Amino acid sequence: MPVIRVALPLPLRQHFDYLLSAEQQVQIGSRLRVPFGKRELIGIAWQLNPADHYPLAQLKPIIAIIDPQPVLTEPLRQLLTFAAEYYHHPLGEVLTAALPALLREGKSLADYQQYAWQLTAAGAGATTADFKRSPRQLALWQALQPGSLAATELLANHPRKALQQLAEKGLIQQQLLPLTPFSQRGLKQPALQLTADQALAVTAINQTANRFQCLLLEGVTGSGKTEVYLQAIAPLLDTGQQVLVIVPEIGLTPQTLARFQSRFQAPVLCWHSNLTDTERLNCWRQTQAGSAAIVIGTRSALFLPFARLGLIIIDEEHDQSLKQQDGFRYHARDLAIKRAAIESCPILLGSATPSLESLYNCQQQRFIPLSLHNRAGGQAMPRYKLVDLKQQVLQFGLASQTLQSIRQQLQQGLQVMLFLNRRGFAPALSCQECGWMTECHRCSAFTTYHKQSRQLVCHHCGATKAVPRQCKQCGSARLAPVGQGTEQLEENLQQLFPEVAITRLDRDTTRRKGALNSALQSINQSGPRLILGTQMLAKGHHFPFVTLVVIVDVDGALYSSDFRAPEQLAQLLTQVAGRAGRGSSPGTVLLQTHHPEHALLQDIIHNGYASFARSALLERQQTRLPPYQHLALFRAEAVQSALCQQWLTELAAIAKTLPGLELLGPLSSPMEKRAGKFRWQLHLYSSQRPLLHQALTTLLATLQSWALSRQVKWQLDVDPVDLS
C-alpha cells in the first residue's frame, strides 16, 4: 500500500507516516484528515512513499483527503520548508500557520465559494408598483437592474431579510460566482507629478521586472514613498501581475488601502487579524485565483498563495512589528526577500529610517539603494530644538518654553502633536508615607494606573486589579500617581487649553472598531487641535496641519542594556518628528530632556538619521554585534529561577564545545519575571551563519531528550529583535 508522509500541527520536529488505499490519489500540499491517538488532526501531505518510512504494520490509514488540489503551492512549500529550517521550528506548525483558520480547521473550500444574485425573468418583468409597501425590497430590486452582484456586496448595503423575501417570491436567483484573474486595468485617478528622485526610483524598480532583486528605498519623511509604490505597481497590473504590500500595523492598513483603491481600477484587498475568518478565507481564495490584483496586509500576508506575483513591497521595513514574537518567530521582511527569490520577482523595502541590517546589505551590494532626499511638496524638513529640563519648574511635565510654543501654534489655528510613549494615567501609584509602589505580583514591573477604568493594569502580562484604598505596606490612604501617561497628559492639557479640541491616539482609545479612522478624520480637519499619543503616532501618518511636535520625555530610552536601543530610539525620534511641517507651514520639533548633551541626540539633531546610522554601523562592527555577527537566542521560563539557570548552563556547556560560537550568558532577562515565571537567556553569536545553524541543529537534537527540558518552557529565537 502507498505511504504518505504528513506534516501535523504539533510542536514536534518530525513527520508522521500513514497508509493510502490503492485507489486514493493525493497531491503534495493538500490537506488530509488523519488519526492521532484519540484525536483527529488536519495535516498536510508532504511526501509520497518516503524511503525511510515506518513498517506498514505500524501505520494507520488516513481518514479522508480534504482537497483535490494542493492548498500550498510549490513556491509556498519551498518558502515554508526554508522557514522551518532557518528558524528551526517544527514544519507542521509552520505549514498550518500559513493557512487561514477555516482551512486549519479542515473546512472544505467548496463550502465557501462566492455567489452572486441576479433577477429572474419574473423579476426583470416587475415594476416599481410591485414594491409599494416595501422600500427595502425596491432598493434591492433596483440595485440588481444593471446585472448580477456578489452576495457580499449586496449584504453590505441591503438587509438579508429583503434578499430572502425577493428569493421566496421568485424575483431573484443565486448563481455561482467563478473566480477568474482580474481584468480591470488602468487608473481611476491620474498619477501625480514625480520629483527627480522619485522618477529615478520608479525607473530603477521597473528595470528589475520579472527577476529577483532587492531594492531599498530610503526617503525622508514626507518624500512621497507611497507615490513611488503606486507608479511602480501600475505597469505590473497592466500585464496581469499581482502585488503584495506589507505594512507593519493594522492601523496603517485602512489609509493605505483607501489610497490604493482610489488610484487603481483593479481590485485591492486587505489582510489583517481584524477580519473575520470568512473574510480572510475569501481574500485567500481571490489571491490564489488571481482575482486580487493588490493585497495590502500585515506580516502573515506573506503566506498568501499568489497566482502571478510580480512585486513585493515592505513599507516601514525597519519596524519591529514585522517580527513575530511568539510561536513561529519569523521576520516578515527576511522571509519576503526569500519569497521574492523563489518567485523571481523584485522586492522593494521602504523606510525613512532603514534598519542597520538593510543598510549593511546595501554596503555589501546585496541591495540596490534608492534615495529620496527631499519632501515631495518642497517643504523644508522640521527644525529640532532641545529643551533642557534641568532646574526648570515643569507644569504637568511640560517646560514653560514648550507651553509657550504650543500656545503660539494654537493661536495661529495650527495643530500640535505631543508624543509620550506611556499609555494609562500613571506608570504606578505610590504611598506618600512609606514609598510603597503598586507592583504586578506576576511580573518584575509596576502596574499602570488607568484612571478612567479605575484599574491597575500590567502592560506586560495583562493582569488587572482594582485600585487599592490603602497602602499594602503601612496602611496609609495617601496613594498618589507617580509619573505621567497619555491619559493624564490629556486631562492636564484640557485644563491648560479648555477651548482646544484634543485627540488622543493610543491602544486604549482605538480599541473600538472604527475609532482610529474617526480620530484620523478629525485630525485631518483644519483648525487648532492638540494630538497626543504613543508610538502609534509615528507609523507613517500624514497630518497636514501639524506644525509643532513635542516629544515629552526623550530620556526614558537613552540608557538601555539592549544594543538595539539607540537604533530604535533614533528611528522613533525621526519618525515622530516627521509628522511636523508636512503641509504649507514649516515644522518644529521640541525634545524635552535632562541630557541635551547626549551624543545620540546631538547626532540626530545636527546630522540626521543617515549620519547616525553610519556611526552606529561602525560601532556594531567594532563591538562584533549584528549585522556583523549572527545571533540566536535561547529563552527559558519556569516558576523556579534555578531551573532556568540550570537548563541554560547545561546547554551552554555543550555549546562551548561546538566550533565558531561565542556565548553570552546564561543571564537573567532584563525583565526577570513575567506572567508568574522567571526568565533567563543564552545568546549565541557566530560570524558564519552556517556554523551557527549547524550548532543550533546539534543543540536541538540534544536538549529534547533531557528530562529537565520538560520542566522549563523554552524557545529559540533566530535573529531576535527584542532582547527583553
Cell numbers representing residue 455 in the block: 484599574
Question: Angle 282-288-292 (CA atoms, 0-180°, nearest 5)?
Answer: 70
C-beta of residue 138 within 8 angstroms of C-beta of residue 318: no
Determine the longest span between alpha carbons in the chain, in angstroms: 88
Detail the residues annotated as belonging to a binding site: 431, 434, 440, 443, 458, 461, 471, 474
Detail the residues annotated as belonging to a binding site for Zn(2+): 431, 434, 440, 443, 458, 461, 471, 474
Q: Which residues pair with 246 in a beta bridge?
A: 297, 314
C-beta of residue 233 within 8 angstroms of C-beta of residue 410: no
Q: Which residues pair with 172 in a beta bridge?
A: 119
φ, ψ of residue 456 to 5 degrees: the values are -100, 125
φ, ψ of residue 41 to 5 degrees: the values are -120, 155
Return the HEC string of 363-413.
HCCCEEEEEECCCCCCCCCCEEEEEECCCCCCECCECHHHHHHHHHHHHCC
Strands 172-176 and 309-315: unpaired
φ, ψ of residue 423 to 5 degrees: the values are -85, 175
C-beta of residue 498 within 8 angstroms of C-beta of residue 487: no
Instruction: Give long-range contacts, CB 8 A cutoff, 24+ apart: 253-257.
Output: 253/296, 253/297, 253/298, 254/516, 254/517, 255/520, 255/541, 255/542, 256/226, 256/296, 256/315, 257/296
Q: Which residues pair with 368 in a beta bridge?
A: 215
What distance in Å separates the CA atoms of residue 300 and residue 328, rounded to the nearest whole number? 11
Per DSSP, the three-state class of 553 is: coil
φ, ψ of residue 163 to 5 degrees: the values are -65, -45
- Reference 138, options 115, 158, 122; nearest CA is 158
Cell numbers representing residue 364 in the block: 555589501
What distance in Å separates the CA atoms of residue 683 and residue 648, rounded to the nearest whole number? 10
- Reference 686, options 635, 618, 627, 614; nearest CA is 627
**Placement of cell 482605538 in the chain:** 510
The number of beta carbons lying within 10 Å of the beta carbon of residue 264 is 22
